[in-house]
Chains A and B, each alone.
Chain A
Amino acid sequence: MVLAGPNGSGKSSLLRVLAGLTPPEAGKLTWNGADITEDRGEHHRRLHFVGHSDALKPVLSVGEMVGFWAGMHGQTVDIHAILGKFGLEKAVKLPCRYLSAGQKRRLALLRLISSPAPLWLLDEPLTSLDTEATEQLLAAIAAHRAEGGSIVLSTHAPVELPGAVRLSLADFRPARLVIEA
């Protein structure tokens, strides 16, 4: 699913609600009919969330960051192989403070493939990415969908994902304004 809409339309808020980070003001979030608040841990195990911030430590190396986040998911990974998927294998020993904005974004997105999770929640994942990295991300998304995974992705820029449901949050604004009035 692609969440589209201008800045401030609520894309990030909706993603945070889906992740269980922000409670909904009304209604409830269910997964296969079960309320996620009944077992938040189970819900968290099934998702990856990549928000606006890259969650990187300036003094840790690229390889250490990948190893840390994979390890926190209980995974042991081949760091060079994982980094190769986004063209970062040469930066394995480089402290994150020396990375460009695009490289930081790539490294943050590597969390998605360093440990398996069926649901990916991606908040403006294409920000700062160059053409090559965008293609690598779209390839990773296609591979995840082919394996039966689900993705909810927010963007304010046009992005083509064949077969994806597109939900424009801008369409909800007039209704919300009427209710508030």
Chain B
Amino acid sequence: MSPFLRLVGRDLRLALRQGGDAAMVVGFFVLTVVLFPFGVGPEPELLQRIAAGIVWVTALLAALLSLERLFQSDYEDGSLEVMALLPLPLEAQVLAKCLAHWLVTGLPLTLTAPLLGLLLHLDTAGYPALIASMAIGTPILSLLGAVGAALTLGARKGGVLLSLLVLPLYIPVLIFGVAAIEAEIGGFGARPHLLLLAAFLVLAVGMVPFAAAAALRQALE
């Protein structure tokens, strides 16, 4: 097995044995969405109109929950120090950890989103775009979050700082994620929005590992 896949495997194993991350993220996602009908009222027309926005905003917030721990435990137990000296470049390790993070958080969010769409009376035409936008958008959340997590490593109240750093960066993902669903429902097609999201994903895959690895090296100094 390559070192890259070995690191992905270790992080998945840690997530499964420590438990909680995927369940907490999905639990938060479901509970927050369920709160909206109580807050804005149960009228199907109203919920249908704001369903795409609710699902995406809550998905962003849910993804934030586990980001703080992305590098924290490796930093605290000295693993990060050893990892920085491995033959596998730290940039590739960041990518491996982001992939594991997405499999534990982003993928469950993507799979849960259609069920929450049902709860919010999302127009049936919007479901393919919802799944596609979540599948392309949630990896971007993990990648951008990795930069924030690396920059705030070791900082006091790092979780709050992380949210302040990362949430503004999530805005383009939110805009095009919601726009893809609404365009599909409106009959305009989600393709342009999904392509833009895919372009963001390619950019993030290309740039984030370098930014996050530089921040991690700084934290280790």
Q: Could you tell me which A residues sit within 8 Å of B by CB distance?
A: 19-23, 41, 44-45, 47, 49, 51-57, 59-60, 64, 68-69, 71-74, 111
CA of A41 to CA of B3 in the docked complex: distance in angstroms? 15
What are 12 A-B pairs with beta-carbon distances under 8 A?
Answer: A20-B85, A21-B84, A44-B86, A55-B78, A57-B73, A60-B13, A64-B13, A68-B6, A68-B10, A71-B1, A72-B6, A73-B87
Which residues of B, 138-170, contact A by the 8 Å Cβ criterion? none
CB of A44 within 8 A of CB of B14, answer no
Q: Are A57 and B79 in contact (CB under 8 A)?
A: yes
> Are B10 and A55 in contact, CB atoms less than 8 angstroms apart?
no
Q: How far is the CB of B8 from chain A (nearest CB, A)?
A: 12
Taken together as a complex, chains A and B put the C-alpha atoms of A65 and B134 apart, in Å, by 34
Number of A-B contacts (CB under 8 A): 68
B221 and A55: CB pair below 8 A?
no
Complex: A23 Cα to B81 Cα, angstroms = 14
Say yes or no: A49 contacts B86, CB within 8 Å. Answer: no
Whether B87 lies near A60 (C-beta < 8 A) is no
On whether the beta carbons of A54 and B77 are closer than 8 Å, the reply is yes
Within the complex, what minimum Cβ distance (angstroms) separates A106 from chain B? 15
Name A's interface SS: loop
18 further A-B pairs in the complex, CB-CB below 8 A; given A59-B17, A71-B3:
A20-B85, A21-B81, A22-B221, A41-B87, A45-B87, A51-B81, A53-B81, A54-B78, A55-B77, A55-B82, A57-B10, A57-B73, A57-B77, A57-B79, A59-B14, A71-B1, A72-B6, A72-B87
**Contact yes or no, B82 A69, CB < 8 A:** yes
- Check: B220 CB closer than 8 A to any chain A CB: yes
Contact residues in B for A59 (Cβ distance below 8 Å) = 14, 17-18
Smallest CB-CB separation from B217: which chain A residue? A21
- Residues on the B chain within 8 Å of A73, using CB: 3, 86-87
- Given A72-B86, A73-B86; A52-B78 close (CB under 8 Å): yes
B7 interfacial by beta-carbon distance below 8 Å: yes
Contacts of A41 in B (CB 8 A): 87, 89
Q: Chain B 68-92, CB within 8 Å of chain A: the 1/0 string?
A: 0000010001110111111111000
Q: Are B10 and A60 in contact (CB under 8 A)?
A: yes
Given contacts A47-B85, A60-B10, contact A74 B3 (CB under 8 A): yes
Contact partners of A57 in chain B: CB under 8 A:
10, 14, 73, 77, 79
Bound-state Cα–Cα, A44 to B84, Å: 8
Which of A44, A54, A60 is most buried by chain B, counting CB atoms within 10 A of its CB? A44
Q: Contact check, A44 vs B85: say whether CB atoms are below 8 A apart.
A: yes
Task: Name A56's closest neighbour in chain B (CB-CB).
Answer: B77
What residue of chain B has the Cβ atom nearest to residue A42's Cβ? B87
Distance A54 CA – B78 CA, assembled complex (angstroms)? 6
A56 to B87 alpha-carbon distance, docked (Å): 19
